[in-house]
Structure 1
Amino acid sequence: MRYNPRLLYRRLYRYSKPYLFRILLAMAASLLVSGSDVATAKLVKPFVDDVLIASKSGLVNLVPIIVLGLALIKGAGRYIQEYFIKTAGQLVVQDIRNDLYRHSMNLSMGYFSRSSTGNVMSRILNDVGSLQRTAADVVVEGLRESFTLVGLTVVAFQSDWRLASIAFVVMPISIVPASVIGRRIKDNTRRGQGALGNLTRVLQESLAGIKVIKAFGTETRESERFRKENQRFYYFIRKVLKYDSAATPVVEILSSIGIGAVLWYGIQRVSQGAMTQGDLSSFLAAMLMMYAPLKRLTKVSNAVQRALGSAERVFELMDEKLDIVDREDALVAARPAGHIRFDHVGFSYGEEPVLHDFNLAIQAGEIVALVGPSGSGKSTIIGLLNRFYDPQQGRILIDGQDIRQLTQQSLKQSIALVDQETFLFNDTIRNNIRYGRPEATDGEVEKAASLAYADEFLSVMPEGYETVIGDRGVRLSGGQRQRICIARAILRDAPILLLDEATSALDTESEAMVQKALVNLMENRTTIVVAHRLSTVMHADKIVVLENGRICETGRHQDLLSGEGLYRRLYEMQFADRV
């Protein structure tokens, strides 16, 4: 998506408004800095004419006082300007990053299934970081050099408007290459940040999948993949550096034309007596000092273009529409009894339908198992009930209420999920169990751990509940991680429980322990169990057999086993070695 630069400036200004006082204070201080430079240029004339040529001894003693005074004014102004404008810039970027993160957290699972995690990370970290590095410096340099340029321009025209007109012929000419260079920098910055997003994705995938890489011995292959993405990133950044490096030489070459013309014409005017040596010296000082901010403003312009390239990617993510939103009249759900009904539900992730006219009624407190081949839609049903996605057809009701009419927060409070991907945070065991209910007491946490049979291994850990378990719980076994997740769900105490392949990755001994914990978790709750292992669902109140997104059988284990349908075939395949 391409943004109009004015729109980007307007949005960045909205973020700057709360810190307008700091910015105005910095602007006032920048007037002191530029004013001291203008005063220096202005004082060249009396210094040459009155001190050097006329030798007025009374003024000689004032020279060091004036120099020191100007230095103090300039130093104080520069400090105030840089401190307040840079802190304002940091606060602005901090707000942008907070809003971007908050927005990304509210995006639906559909967005994350379409986009790589690394790319989202790159926008929040790298693109906002690029804004952070340039925003304050751009404003500092831009304000100071702009005021200095304006002041020195006034001095130049006051000294001699003819010479000033010659000097300023160069400026319009330099705008053309500067604008071309700026556009190239912006385009390549945007593409470079996209390449950096891919690089971040490769890095994130490699670190997350380090066990697989080590197991298959593909370190060299992954290093080569990273090297290629890194090279691609360098390709775009090299272009940014090329154009950025060309900006100053172009301005200097054009400036030399103006300086040469001014010297030739100015010397002639001094020879003719039309102006004094002091006038010429003062003008030359103003002109030379004037070209310095002009060169720096060219650099500032390039930095602005780099920032705009990053800002486009930042606001592109911020403008990503939320697929799942609360209605204006959404209701806050009271604690439900747990009646669930899927009413003619149809859903597809893309063009290929996953669920077709799906109808299912679940009574409060009932345990319902969803079984079937991979891709039959079992996990999709869990995702729809959690409202990770909304169905394209039909509706899902809890206690007769369409879940789209409820606030997402109150819906999530009614549901506890234990997933096959046992995600734990790099924090203490206590905080991981407490994650779904932060206000829970230590006693409630420990009771939940006991019901999940997690206290068995917690009691032998040196730090017990205060043990930090590492990234994704790497310091725990699969069964231990799963019991922590079950304890988390028990503590949440939601009336509806969703178990999505909760024991699929466990060995027999761990599975037996986790199954005991699940019995405690399912007590007095409406439970939907997704499982490939039919041994885990034999005692369900109802088993729903899915195939190609449709229900092909429903019943209890013995009823389905006595038939000739898909459930019996699946059972015979799993238990063929026992026959």
Structure 2
Amino acid sequence: MKRRWKSMGKSLKQLTSFLKPYWKQLILVALLSIVIVLMVALAPLIEGNITTQLLSDVKDIAQGVKGAQIQVDVIFRFLTILFVVYTLNAGLRLILQSLLANAIQSATYDLRIAVKEKITRVPIRYYDAHQTGDLMSRMSTDVEAISNALQQSFAAIFQAIIMLVVAIIMMFVIDVQLAWIGISIIPLTLIASRFIVKHSQIGFRNTQKALGNLNAITQENLTGFAQIKLYNYQEETIQTFKKANEALCEYGFKSSFVSGLMGPSVSMLTYLAIATTIFLGANKVLAGAMLVGNLQAFIRYVWQVNQPMSQMTQLSAAIQSSFAAMDRVFGFLNEADDIKDPDYPVIPTPFQGAVSFNHVEFGYNSTPIIKDLSAEIQPGQLVAIVGPTGAGKTTLINLLMRFYDVEKGSIKIDGVDLRDMNRDTLRSYFGMVLQDTWLFSGSIADNIRYGKKDATMDEVIEASKKANVHHFIQTLPDGYDMILNEETNNISNGEKQLITIARALLSDPKIMILDEATSSIDTRLDQRIQDALQTAMQGRTSFVIAHRLTTIRNADIILVVRDGNIVEQGNHEQLLQNKGFYAELYNSQFELAKD
């Protein structure tokens, strides 16, 4: 429990830093809240005076006092004051809500930006251990839960505290003895609330986690919908969704039910206090020790003590949900950033493109993948990396791009250790064409221009011509302005691959990486893509990862990776003559091709 309160305090402190830039608006909200509460506290006194005046006039008339009558002018004056108070109160509330909404939404905007920026700074390892849907849930659902709680509770809680203080003061002004009875609901409510919050907060945390899991499953199912239909896994995905949905429903019910006990608890305590107050207060009125209007006002003040307590209990679910959301959002923001770039990064000058791997060792989560890998690549060479699945081929490229840092050994470009270079500078040297063609919803021109933000249209067209995709683009209804849909499935995989090659060529990289770039392409476009890739690699140091060994016969050097080590290296003819592991791989594919 102590650790939980500490965590909540830390989250609140971080949240305050996002609210700080809007402190002027929030102070104005606080001042308006004080004025509003004072007006609300003034109303029972005015109403009580009306009741006292009416009772006094009726009593005088009943006793036959000369000239006794209902003093309408006095009562009307009180009613006018009451009307002005309520009208002004409503107007100030509108202004308050406008100021508060602007401040909260601005802070929420900043929080979303902070999460987005953090996503770009956490190491790749973080994504290996967390689902994309869960991260999306933190950015959208969790941040929205915080925003809603702030919007609903910021002014409400502040006003509740002020109202509580003012109502207690007014009760003691009217009658000290009854005041002690009236405020007895406060400590009893706090005891009940603490007990309930202790048990419900766990449920709200589990609810937020379950919601993140449900979002992850939903995203996964939507992304892989075609595969699900293909392999007839609809029923299994429904059952998986049902289980996640049931968990969310169960945690949501438990947390809401337990949290919902606060409202009835506070109401019961309030009714007991009011009943006791009415009984004792009525005796005082009958004894002439208290005016009936003051008793009426006192009961209203008891309700004004109950009202903030009830407000806080009604907001309890939203507040607890927001604390659970804050734990997730700020927990993510507190994750360690990627390894910092050196203060004085080194740049290979002049850049030639020589790459050396020196006794490289690396593993994911203590599982070794690369064990002791060494190789020397000369500038302009075409390097093929081959080996069975899981041998470490893609890992080698990830290390070269510094998506991960080596654990032992080093990787150097033109003699400069990658760890001594700035990541952005390093990655600007590379162009990549992957098996999974990543394009975004937008025009074809913008997708190609992703390789160079300030590229002119002439540069885009020139890159498309080199990639053998210009003619195809011209045949489309809107040419380069054609919009690719959200799934980018309104063109074929082959054409998407040619567009990614054009994008890579537009960036004019020093080193080209091709990762299974032709593994899923139909034969109709295969030759065009092969020609485009040859153009992309021309004059550059190039790395090719390929399962189809027939596509890398012309490589200058072939690195054969097995169990995290380079077991063979040489060109195609040399490796076949060695009759080693490469020859086994090649011959097995050749036999399969003949079959």
Superposition pairs for residues 89-168 of structure 1, below 5 Å? 89-168=104-183
Query: Is residue 333–residue 407 contact of structure 1 (8 Å, CA) maintained in 2?
Result: no
The corresponding residue for 2:486 is: 471
Distance in 2 (alpha carbons) for counterparts of 1:7 and 1:350: 29
Work out whether 1:44 is the aligned partner of 2:9. no
Deviation at 1:457, TM superposition (A): 1.4
Amino acid at match of 1:226: F
Checking the alignment, whether the CA contact within 8 Å between 1:189 and 1:309 is kept in structure 2 is: yes
Quote the residue 2:509 is aligned against: 494
Which residue of structure 2 lines up, in the alignment, with residue 404 of structure 1?
419
Partner of 1:338: 353
The amino acid across from 1:12 in the alignment is L
Q: Which residue of 2 aligns with 1:79?
A: 94
Structure 2 CA distance for aligned equivalents of residues 338 and 64 of structure 1:
88
In 2, Cα distance between the equivalents of 1:182 and 1:85?
27
Q: Counterpart in 2 of 1:62?
A: 77
Is the Cα–Cα contact under 8 Å of residues 434 and 445 in structure 1 kept in the other structure?
Answer: yes
CA contact (8 A) 1:367 1:526 kept: yes
The 2-side partners of 1:12 and 1:278 are apart by 45
User: Is the contact between residue 335 and residue 495 of structure 1 (CA under 8 Å) also seen in structure 2?
Assistant: no
Query: Whole-Å Cα distance in 2 between the matches of residues 28 and 335 of structure 1?
Result: 64
For 1:346 and 1:511, locate their aligned partners in 2 and report how far apart those are by CA, in whole Å: 36
Structure 1 counterpart of 2:387 = 372
Q: Is the 8 A contact 2:383 2:556 kept in 1?
A: yes
Which residue of the partner structure matches residue 496 of structure 2?
A: 481
Once residues 335 and 500 of structure 1 are traced to their aligned partners in structure 2, the CA distance between those partners, rounded to angstroms, is 27
Q: Report deviation, 1:228.
A: 1.5
Q: CA deviation at 1:31?
A: 1.7
**Is 1:279 the counterpart of 2:294 in the alignment?**
yes
Rate the CA distance shift 1:515–1:324 in 2: closer, same or farther, 3 A. farther
> Is the 8 Å Cα contact of residues 41 and 152 (structure 1) preserved in structure 2?
no
Q: Which residue of 1 aligns with 2:64?
A: none
Alignment match, 2:442 = 427
- Shift of the 351–57 alpha-carbon distance from structure 1 to 2, 3 Å rule, reads closer
What does 1:141-540 align with in structure 2 at a 5 Å threshold? 141-331=156-346, 336-540=351-555
Q: Secondary structure at the match of 1:343?
A: strand
- Which residue of 1 is the match for residue 34 of structure 2? 31
Indicate conservation of the 8 Å contact 1:416/1:492, yes or no: yes
> Shift of residue 223 of structure 1?
1.5
The corresponding residue for 2:66 is: none
Does structure 2 retain, via aligned residues, the 8 Å contact 1:335–1:414?
no
1:394/1:436 CA distance change after superposition, 3 Å: same
**Correspondence for 1:19:** 22
Which stretches in structure 1 are left out of the alignment for 5+ residues?
A: none
Whether contact under 8 Å (1:423, 1:472) holds in the other structure is no
Deviations 1:321-351 (Å, cap 9, x if unpaired)? 1243323333466673211111111011133
Q: What's the secondary structure of 1:61's corresponding residue?
A: helix
Quote the Cα distance in structure 1 between the aligned partners of 2:351 and 2:111: 38
Any conservation in 2 of the 1:336–1:414 contact (CA below 8 Å)?
Answer: no
Structure 1 residues 423-446: Cα deviation after superposition (integer angstroms, max 9, x where no partner): 111111111111121111111111
1:105 is displaced (CA, Å) by 2.2
Kindly state the Cα deviation for residue 419 of structure 1 after the two structures are TM-superposed.
Answer: 1.2
Q: State the distance in 1 between where 2:227 and 2:280 align.
A: 75
Is the CA contact (8 Å cut-off) linking 1:501 and 1:532 kept in structure 2?
A: yes
- In the alignment, is the contact (CA less than 8 A) between 1:244 and 1:302 conserved in 2? yes
In 1, Cα distance between the equivalents of 2:203 and 2:79? Answer: 49
- Aligned-CA RMSD value: 1.7
**Contact 2:7–2:327 (Cα < 8 Å) also in 1:** no
Q: What is the identity, as a one-letter code, of the residue corresponding to 2:303?
A: L
In terms of mean alpha carbon deviation, does 177-186 or 113-122 score higher? 177-186
> Kindly tell me: are residues 542 and 153 of structure 1, through their superposed partners in 2, closer, same or farther at Cα, counting changes over 3 Å?
same
TM-score using structure 1 length: 0.97
- Aligned counterparts of 1:560 and 1:499: Cα–Cα separation in 2: 22
Distance in 1 (alpha carbons) for counterparts of 2:219 and 2:422: 33
**CA contact under 8 A between 2:145 and 2:318: conserved in structure 1?**
no
Structure 1, 49-58 or 236-245: larger mean CA deviation: 49-58
- CA–CA separation in structure 2 for the residues paired with 1:184 and 1:353: 43
In structure 2, distance between residues paired with 1:345 and 1:155: 77
Q: Deviations over 1:103-124 (max 9, x none)?
A: 1122222211111111111111
Matches of 2:130 and 2:544, distance apart in 1 = 29
Tell me if structure 1 keeps the 8 A contact 2:348–2:414. no
Query: Match for 2:42: what amino acid?
Result: A
CA distance 1:447–1:238, shift in 2 (3 Å): same
Inter-CA distance 70–335: structure 2 relative to 1 (3 Å threshold):
farther
Worse-matched range after superposition: 286-295 or 161-170 = 286-295
Paired residues, number: 579
Q: Please list every run of 5 or more consecutive structure 2 residues that lacks an aligned counterpart in the other structure.
A: 58-69
Which segment is superposed worse, 54-63 or 151-160? 54-63
Residue 53 of structure 2 contacts residue 75 of structure 2 at CA under 8 Å; is this kept in 1? no
TM-score, reference length from structure 2: 0.94
Letter in 2 for 1:275: M
Deviation of the 1:451 alpha carbon: 0.6
Cα separation, 1, equivalents of 2:442 and 2:369: 37
Question: Is 2:582 aligned against 1:567?
Answer: yes
CA contact (8 A) 1:44 1:285 kept: no
Preserved CA contact (<8 Å) 2:385 2:544: yes
**Aligned equivalents of 2:499 and 2:127: distance in 1?**
26
> Counterpart of 2:38 in structure 1: which amino acid?
G
Q: CA deviation at 1:418?
A: 1.1
- What secondary structure does 1:459 align onto? helix
The amino acid across from 2:132 in the alignment is T
Aligned mates of 2:397, 2:160 — CA distance in 1: 60
Report the AA paired with residue 17 of structure 2.
R
Q: Supply the distance in 1 between the matched residues of 2:12 and 2:514 (Cα, whole angstroms).
A: 48
